[in-house]
Structure 1
Amino acid sequence: MLAVDLLAHRGAHVIKFKEAAAWSILWVVIALVFGGIIFWAYGVEAGTAYTTAWLLEKSLSVDNLFVFALIFAYFKVPREYQHRVLFFGVFGALVFRGIFLGVGVAVVERFTFVLFIFGAILLWSAWKMLKDDDEEMDPSTNIGVRMLKRIIPLKDEYHGQKFFIKEAGKRYGTPLLAVVAAIEAADLIFAVDSVPAVLAVSDEPFIVYSSNAFAILGLRALFFLLSGLLERFHLLSKALAFILAFIGVKLFFQAGHEVISPSIPHIPTWISLSVIVVSLTLAIVLSLRRPAPVEPADGGDHQDEPQDEPQDEHRGSPKH
């Protein structure tokens, strides 16, 4: 599927809404067909687990899109190059998720108590998502960009889709390389939340990785489909925080059942699926019916006073 997506988008061009919508629908259909095969081949329990894990990862991936949009705005990435950058972001996410999921499944099989730690991570992530809802993230502090600057000097100008250029016999990185580094670092951070969340649904490696893969593969098309509309779904982050908190509690119940007493109940997978669907639906509907208030550029105070400091040309990025 990754090869198909790569071959279908080889040249640098701006992804239009219709193209993004067609690809988004295609990826969703493929993911659901694959889920149908799992229902048919392995039964209702496995099929429900896949569907829940896929929808969970798909919803969490939307939070990635806010960060991607912020990174693109900060580095002023031309729209025709964004698709190329996101390809490497998707590839990196597949690799990181594969490594993290493999390690996570192996650890859970040997040390069940680690589920308590995973649950705590998700509760912390949920609280942080709510707390940071109105704060801006500065991509210049991205660990990937900071590490890259220590390895290779970076130029300020874009040179088409090139990541490296040579001047006077010396190799330099382009801003596009810095953007890829920032995207990959974001992928790594998101994997820390994503892996514990999906392991709360299933510990079967085939289920958890295939659901992650199909959720991630449609991420590029979804970005261009929702580009410019992300800010309208202002309640989505709250829904995602609630989902993470619910999954964290589910992990505590699961760990208690395995470690403390079998009398502690499991939360069935179908309940998790219902919570995810209802939460996302409510967040989207309420966001569209009750748009976020538009704040004045100066915060509403001292409207007649001139600004003392000019804005950094790389700033002015959207809120996360």
Structure 2
Amino acid sequence: MDFLFVDWLGKPLWLWLSFLGIVIVMLAVDLGIVHRKSKEIGVTESLVTSAAYILLGLAFGGWVWWYMGATAGMNYLTGFVVEKSLAMDNVFVIAMIFTYFAVPRLYQHRVLFWGILGVIVLRAIMIGVGATLVEQFSWVLYVFAAFLIFTGVKMWLFADKEYDVAANPVLKFVRRHFRVTDRLHGEHFWVKQADPATGKQAWFMTPLMLALLMVEIVDVVFAVDSVPAIFAITTDPFIVYTSNIFAILGLRALYFALAAMVDRFHYLKYALAILLVFIGSKIFVADALGLAKIPPVASLSVTFAILAAGIGWSLWKTRDQAAHPA
């Protein structure tokens, strides 16, 4: 069993396998027991499931704090909060995707569940590449930091612009080169039916498959922001990956509650823009002050303050909408 103690990306292999085991068990319980059959998920169930995921994520963070030290624990918590916050913008885009493809709530959980499997693999690849680059070329952190500042400014300037699903080039390519049905076929991603051109039986993508594809694309796009953001907090691949995955798992569960009140979080995008600029500028500020890095407690405190201000301002500005819903 010596191979379990082999170092992989700075941590023994058993540590990585233990984390993946926890995630597999959580997903197996989710799909195999709780949501074995397609059903419409209500706000209450969404909140309860999300709370369970958040508690598990925080419990894992508590273990990281105990096993790896206070600094690692603080970095995990900061990464967890930042990733969950940035992923909230992802939720708004996913809601647009489901609306565009007319995916009923009955089948949305199926898309989100299979989407998370893609996220687990894609984030692992991106974080592995990022960690290798940072280890080999320390100046890459400054590139990440500058990119975050640029992204934050861009997010602020385009906060009022909605995501145009139909204009996505990948979606256009798929529709041109693959067979796609005009309507949903229950919870199926693929169906076999007669090809109008040849009359022969052929496999067709359904709109549910296109929705899943778009969700994965959106995840990749948002990972381009979130992965550099957490590398600006810590360069430990284990902390980066585990905080990313736990945050995403919890937010996907919370989707059904958030999607019902998307319009009430409009100003959160401005807070996220400020947060990205803050995270990116930390590296340059630390250098200017002659520090190795900004203390984790300071980073976490400012992160909470920015997000609390964004959420509070959003809820305050839309209070009349909540009191008198359309």
For Structure 1 versus Structure 2, the TM-score category normalised by the shorter chain is 0.7 to 0.9
1:2 aligns with 2:2: no
Residue 253 of structure 1 deviates from its aligned partner by 4.2
Equivalent pair of 1:90/1:219 in contact (CA under 8 Å): no
Percent identity of the aligned residues?
44
The secondary structure found in structure 1 opposite 2:204 is: strand
TM-score of the pair, normalised by structure 2: 0.84
Tell whether 2:238 aligns with 1:206: yes
Q: Secondary structure at the match of 1:81?
A: helix
Deviates more, 1:45-54 or 1:114-123: 114-123
- Residue among 296, 299, 314 paired with 1:272: 299
- 1:106 paired residue number: 132
The reply to whether residue 32 of structure 1 matches residue 64 of structure 2 is no
Deviation at 1:93, TM superposition (A): 1.6
TM-score (norm 1): 0.86
1:126 aligns with 2:126: no
CA RMSD of aligned residues (A): 1.8
Which residue in the other structure is 1:297 paired with?
Answer: none
Task: Give 1:301's aligned residue.
Answer: none
Q: Which of 257, 279, 286 matches 1:247?
A: 279
1:244 offset after TM fit, Å?
0.4
Deviation at 1:220, TM superposition (A): 2.0
Instruction: Report deviation, 1:265.
Output: 5.2
Paired position in structure 1 for 2:308: 281
Helix, strand or coil at the partner of 1:218: helix
- Which one of 210, 217, 229 corresponds to residue 197 of structure 1? 229
Alignment match, 2:207: 175
Q: What residue identity is the alignment partner of 2:29?
A: V
Whole-angstrom distance in 1 between the partners of 2:226 and 2:173: 24
Equivalences, count: 289
Q: Does structure 1 residue 22 correspond to structure 2 residue 54?
A: no
> C-alpha separation between the residues in 2 aligned to 1:53 and 1:46?
10
Q: Give me the whole-angstrom Cα distance separating, in 1, the residues matched to 2:190 and 2:233.
A: 42
Matches within 5 A, 1:220-231: 220-231=252-263
Q: Secondary structure at the match of 2:166?
A: helix
1:14, 1:220 → 2: CA distance? Answer: 15
Q: Is the Cα–Cα contact under 8 Å of residues 268 and 310 in structure 2 kept in the other structure?
A: yes
Please tell me the residue identity of whatever aligns with 2:35. H
Q: Tell me, in whole angstroms, the C-alpha distance in 2 between the residues paired with 1:134 and 1:233.
A: 12
Cα shift at 1:88: 2.0
- CA drift of 1:263 comes to 3.0
8 Å contact from structure 1 (residues 142, 185) kept in 2: no
Rounded to whole Å, the distance in 2 between the matches of 1:32 and 1:265 is: 27
Q: Runs of 5+ in structure 2 lacking a partner?
A: 1-25, 195-200, 322-326
How far apart, CA to CA, are the structure 1 residues paired with 2:229 and 2:161? Answer: 24
1:263 pairs with 2:290: yes
Give, in whole Å, the separation in 2 of the partners of 1:150 and 1:93. Answer: 26
Q: Distance in 2 between matches of 1:263 and 1:289?
A: 40
Deviates more, 1:145-154 or 1:116-125: 145-154
Residue matched to 1:318: none
Q: Give the residue type in structure 2 aligned to 1:211.
A: S
Measured after TM superposition, the shift of residue 251 of structure 1 is: 3.1
Structure 1: which 5+ residue stretches go unaligned? 295-320
Q: Distance in 1 between matches of 2:223 and 2:181?
A: 30
1:6 CA displacement = 2.0
Report if aligned partners of 2:92, 2:259 keep a CA contact under 8 Å in 1: no
Tell me which amino acid in the other structure corresponds to 1:164.
Answer: W
Letter in 1 for 2:52: L
Q: In the aligned structure 1, how far is the partner of 2:291 from the partner of 2:237?
A: 25
Residue pair 1:155, 1:175 contacting (<8 A) in 2 also: yes
